[in-house]
Chain A
Amino acid sequence: MADDSQRNFRSVYYEKVGFRGVEEKKSLEILLKDDRLDIEKLCTFSQRFPLPSMYRILVWKVLLGIIPPHHESHALVMKYRKEQYWDVHHALRVIRFINDSTPQVDVFLRIHQLESGKLPRNVAFPLEPEDEVFLAIAKAMEEMVEDPIECYWLVSCFVNQLNSKHKDSLQQLPKVLEQYLNIEDNRLLMHLKACSAMSKLPYDLWFKKCFAGCLPESSLQRVWDKVISGSCKILVFVAVEILLTFKMKIIALNSAEKITQFLENIPQDNTDAIVSKAVDLWRTHCGTPAHSA
């Protein structure tokens, strides 16, 4: 009730007229005011509404479990995180995996490797594919987050979440993509199938890297909002929307390789619209998305 009384009575009309985000910021603030943050509510919120950028990092951190729901322990926990980071950082330096000139992303990778116990024997060891994914995500995240420690933790937890929570569903995504593409645009699907491009679509880029490196960060954030809050199906719809948006060009291309090449380097100018459409599409197809999905 208190929430309701504080909320603007015009909120209903804002939504009707199409202004989004006017009320969301306020309600998010209300949510964040709770001493013990309700993670479920935050999940639902981030699935339903776009997150304001000023709270995004905080919400992400909470959702990914980097900081606990209690405000009191935030500082302490962050201190621990920081120390841990520096400890590992120091250790890596000691064992000479990194040095001052090592790029930040590599540092993150090494720290992550070390923490997950997968540090190679030697620096010169070739990178595993999962390391590539990590690097891509880390690169994107580096753009979004300034603090390296926060960045590291976000990347690390994000990747961990992808590997643990969504591992099974990520493997199903190509099939789902085909299914929804069939519903949305049968012809395009036929074309892709005719070109036998369906199997060669950049699934790694889309689903494993979560479009990191494919979309600009501003758009990527909104996609990751949904992924972090628990729904990896949004990735499918972003992919579908990309295909639909560049349908004419794709149809114009006849070989699978060209299509793949084009899709891996799609133009970056219209991605916001793509993401918005994808979110709408996702809503229409999955109804009111449950965060657990």
Chain B
Amino acid sequence: MAQQGNVGELLSMLDSPILGVLEDITAAFKDNLICDRGPMLVNNLVDYYLETNSQQALHILSTLQEPHDKHLLDKINDYMGKAATRLPTLSLLGHVIRRQPSWKHKLSQAPLLLSLLKCLKTDTDVVVLTTGVLVLITMLPMIPQSGKQYLHDFFGIFGRLSAWCLQNPGHVAEIYLVHLHASVYSLFHRLYGMYPCNFVSFLRSHYSMKENLETFEEVVKPMMEHVRIHPELVTGSKDHELDPRRWKRLETHDVVIECAKISLDPAEASYEDGYYSVSRKLCTSSKHHQTDPSASSYIDIQSSYGTSTPYSTPRLTLSQMPGQLPQILSPQSSRLSTEPQQVTIWSPSAVCGMTTPPTSPGIVPSESSQSASQPYSKAFGTSAGGKGTPLGTPATSPPPPCTSDDFVHVSLPSAAATPPKKEDKPDSGRPLLHRQQNVINSDKSLDIPSSKSSVTLSDLPEFLGGLSFEDSAEKDREEDAISKEISEITTDAEHMVPRGGFDSPFYRTNESLSGSQKKTHSAASSVQGHSQTSEPLTSLDKPGPEGARETPKQTFTPIDKPCGGPGESPAGNREGTSGEPSILTPSPCKVPAHRRVVFGSGQPPLYEHLFEVALPKTAYLFVGKKTEELLKKAKGAQDEDCMSSTSPVEVLDRLIQQGADAHTKELNKLSLPSKSADWTHFGGSPPSDEIHTLRNQLLLLHNQLLYERFKRQQHALRNRRLLRKVIKATALEEHNAAMKDQLKLQEKEIQALKLSLQKEQARYHQFQEEHDNIVAQLHSQIRQLQHDREEFYNQSQELQTKLEDCRNMIADLRLELKKANNKVCHTELLLSQVSQKLSNSESVQQQMEFLNRQLLVLGEVNELYLEQLQHKHTDTTKEVEMLHAAFRKELEKAKLCVQQQSQRLDASQKRIAELESQLAKKDHLFLEQKKYLEDVKIQARGQLQAVESRYKAQKKITQAFELEILDLFGRLEKSSLLKKLEDDKTEAAEAAEESRLDCGNEDTAGHSEETLGRNGETKPPSTRGSSSSKGGSSSELSTPEKPQNQRLSSRWETSMLLEPSTTVPLTVGSLPSSKSFLGMKARELFRNKSESQCDEEGVSINRLSDALKTELCKDPSMESKASPSPENLSPKLQESSVGQLHIMDYNETHHDHS
């Protein structure tokens, strides 16, 4: 609560008149706002503002930062709901929005927007509606993208308000309606500029309805006459214009400009306050002219010129100045001299509008550069205020002429109208551009030689073309002095004329329309016009006869309806003024307007210059367009009365103008003291009502003003951007120029270098030629010398060959000498030999002689012998013949023998070969035989195995049989032994029975005779082998047998047995027969026997006798004895005994055999 109280205190102090306190308080509020994020402070501020309408609170609110925006919007939204606070709330909102807070994008989401729309749809208070619409229009370009969702709300509002304008359901004062109409007109422009397709489709659908048709005809259609066809209508679509991409690159001011571009209405397309003034000035001037043609202080007129520069006035001033105006006279002289300068001044003054002229002209010349500082102008504007010309002129004595000049020039181009307007000014100024530039140039040359002069100079020709020479001429003139003032004026005038013609038909039409230009022309061409121009009507009449003006007229007429003609306009103006005599208080209007001009448009004209400098072509086009607009506007101004296509803005303007005029007029009429009684004095209208109306009107006007200011700010922003671009462009161009210069310099350098290069080359050639010559000489010398050398060389060669020859000859000679010597030696040797031989031969001859003698002797002897021999020859021949024959025969025999021998040899050799082959065959055969034998062996072995197995089987059989037999024997002997025991018992008793027993014994033995025999035989050897060993009975079996056997053996083969008497019983131990001589022998014998038997066996084995069989059996048994299977004792015993028996038996048989 303390804080609340604190806040309350602060609020109360907010509007304190003390500056220091005020600043402190504001600072304190801002600090609080930074610290505190709560809504309280903001709410309090809003409340406070609504209560007191405090400017300070408004200032703080409109600069609120981000976190508080929501509270502010909420609060405003709250108040918006209440009808009582709606109007101030709206104005607050307007203030806030116009500051373009950083959070403006949030507006679209805020509920405030909805409630605003709702209010606009439902409210019936015109003031509220107008204010609301203006707020909405301001807001639209800030939220182009996000506002699209409310598009139909916007359209609906437009439809409602347009209908409202016509039907006036609230039955409010017409004046309000004018305001409302203007707002609706702005809304129309905004909507059409931003959403053309959607808007047009809305219009189409909304006004196709019958009940709306009237509205369309009356309200909307005239509006539509003030817009061009939006290019989006051709290229875009409903969706496309809502596309966020379209809006993304556009800032708020871009949007505003976009909307302004499509407007044909100069009032809407340009700033309305400018129009205000123009129209007002028009009114005033016309009024002045008409109502007080003769009188009316020049100051007034002059002021009006200064501020607005209405069409004809400049000419008037031109003409009038020298003669009529003492104040201006002085400057006029200077102006004449510095005409171009004034032209430059014109632009800012025009921009500033009617309000500021005095100051700005002063400034411009003084500064003379485009960078004319704003502060200055601002300061001037603020300080001067009101109608500055009269005031300003005295203040700045040197500039005033400029101002006047300025006006003149301004009026020249802008003759038709609207020089004060920013955009109009350039339009109208276009034709003057060259002039301006010239002026600038001259300025620079005169006052400050600036760097930019070159640029403008270079650019100028592009614009002016043929006018260049004039520029130079101007320059010269300017340089000259004041002495040629008059002539200059004339030239100037001359310049103007061509300029006007040069520019565009519109330009002239403007002139013709206004009529003022004609005057200027006339004034320029001939001085006659000076007096005549004082009256516009006369001037209006004049253009007709003047040929130069006719053509423009013709051109103009087709474009726009000439309507009633210039004559009517003044009338209309007059009517307007008369209709609304004393409503306006000019000061409030003007002050803000003037201020705004100062703020917003201080610079633009400068940019314009640059703009033209930088972009001549587009500028040119732009000029054309603008002039057209201008013209239209002028026409509009003229046709004001007709109102057929008058824009609501103009209507409003005119209303204000008239009000102001009426006011001033009334004021003039009224005595100052009686001002208080003004109202009663005026009309019977009750003051309270009137005051209320006026207040509302004031409010509306204020709103309108604020809106326009906002637009201006947007333009300022844009202009700043453009200036930056222009500066960049110029910088670049300068850079280009510099580069070009450099390029030229370098080219020059290159040229110089090329020249020197050529020189050098020439020199080089010369040197080379010389060098070549020398070289050639040297070469020839060399050649000569070489030739000489070759000759010498040849000579030396010849000499050398000769030398060689000589040497050879010497060598030959030496060789010959050697040979000769050799020959000599040889011959000497030969000689000695020959001499020797000679001696020898001599001795031989002697011997020969001796021998010959001997031969002779011997021959004689031989003859003697031969005689002797022939005597004995007959006997020997017979013997020799016989011997020959004998030898021959012997030889033949030997030969035969040899022959025989050789034949025999051959035969034997053949035989050997045969035998050898036979041997090989035999060997082969042997191999085969061996193989065969092998085969046969195997075969035989197989058979033999079979046979052997069979034999084994046989043996087994035999064994089996023997076993059986022995078994049987055993049984038999048992039985017989029993019998014998009985017999022994009986033997003693019966002797007779003995013999019979023997017989019986014999019978039993006969039963198996051989075995028995063998049995008997076995005993002796066994006993022999173990004769020394034991007696007695080893077995029951053998012992009883013994006596029998002994008996038997003794009986059988006593002769054979060496010791038949031994009666040693048969035992196993007696077997070692191998040691005994007989056993050894028997074994050898058996082996032989068995082999032989084997051989025999092949023939007939079957037929072997029983004995043989037993013999055969004996051998295996002998062998098997070594490892007998331990079976029952008895068979073994039997076996062994049998084996022994067999051996003996075999021995026996062997003996038999042998």
Contacts and interface: CB of A to CB of B under 8 A. Distances in A.
A94 B942 CA distance: 30
A72 B939 contact: yes
A70 B938 contact: yes
A115 B953 CA distance: 5
A114 B960 contact: yes
A68 B943 contact: yes
Interface in A39-75: 65, 67-70, 72-73
Nearest to B947: A80
A80 B950 contact: yes
Contact of A68 (B946, B950, B957, B1125): B946
Interface residues of A, number: 24
B956 A88 contact: yes
A92 B959 CA distance: 12
A70 B954 contact: no
Interface string A82-123: 011001100110110000000000000000001101010000
B953 A76 contact: no
Interface in A140-199: none
B771 to A, nearest CB: 101
A95 B942 CA distance: 31
Interface residues of B, number: 21
Nearest to B964: A95
Contact of B953 (A67, A69, A87): A87
B938 A91 contact: no
B64 to A, nearest CB: 94
A155 to B, nearest CB: 15
B935 interface: yes
Contact of B939 (A70, A94, A114, A117): A70
Interface string B926-942: 00000000010011011
B758 interface: no
Contacts of B946: 68, 76-77, 80-81, 84
Q: Which among B939, B946, B959 has the greatest number of chain A C-beta atoms within 10 A?
A: B946
Contact of B960 (A76, A77, A81, A119): A119
B924 to A, nearest CB: 21
A285 interface: no
A69 B950 contact: no
A69 B946 CA distance: 12
A36 interface: yes
A259 to B, nearest CB: 40
Given A36-B935, A87-B957, A80 B943 contact: yes
Contacts of B964: 94-95
Contacts of B953: 84, 87-88, 114-115
B587 interface: no
Contacts of A73: 939, 942-943
A83 B947 CA distance: 10
Nearest to A72: B939
Contacts of A91: 957, 960-961
A89 to B, nearest CB: 10
A90 to B, nearest CB: 8
B939 A68 contact: yes
B952 A115 contact: yes
B4 interface: no
Given A114-B960, A117-B959, A77 B952 contact: no
A95 B943 contact: no
A72 B938 CA distance: 12
Nearest to B942: A68
Nearest to B1102: A83
A83 B939 CA distance: 19
A95 B961 contact: yes
B1056 to A, nearest CB: 34
A117 B956 contact: yes
B956 A77 contact: no
A236 to B, nearest CB: 32
Contacts of B947: 80
A112 to B, nearest CB: 11
A91 B938 CA distance: 31
B949 interface: yes
B133 to A, nearest CB: 102
Interface of A: 36, 65, 67-70, 72-73, 76-77, 80-81, 83-84, 87-88, 91-92, 94-95, 114-115, 117, 119
Given A69-B938, A91-B960, A91-B961, 12 more contacts: A68-B942, A68-B946, A70-B939, A72-B939, A73-B942, A76-B943, A81-B946, A87-B950, A91-B957, A95-B960, A95-B961, A115-B956
25 contacts: A36-B938, A68-B938, A68-B939, A68-B942, A68-B943, A68-B946, A69-B938, A70-B938, A70-B939, A73-B939, A76-B946, A77-B943, A77-B946, A80-B943, A81-B946, A81-B949, A83-B950, A87-B953, A88-B957, A91-B957, A91-B960, A91-B961, A92-B960, A95-B964, A117-B1125
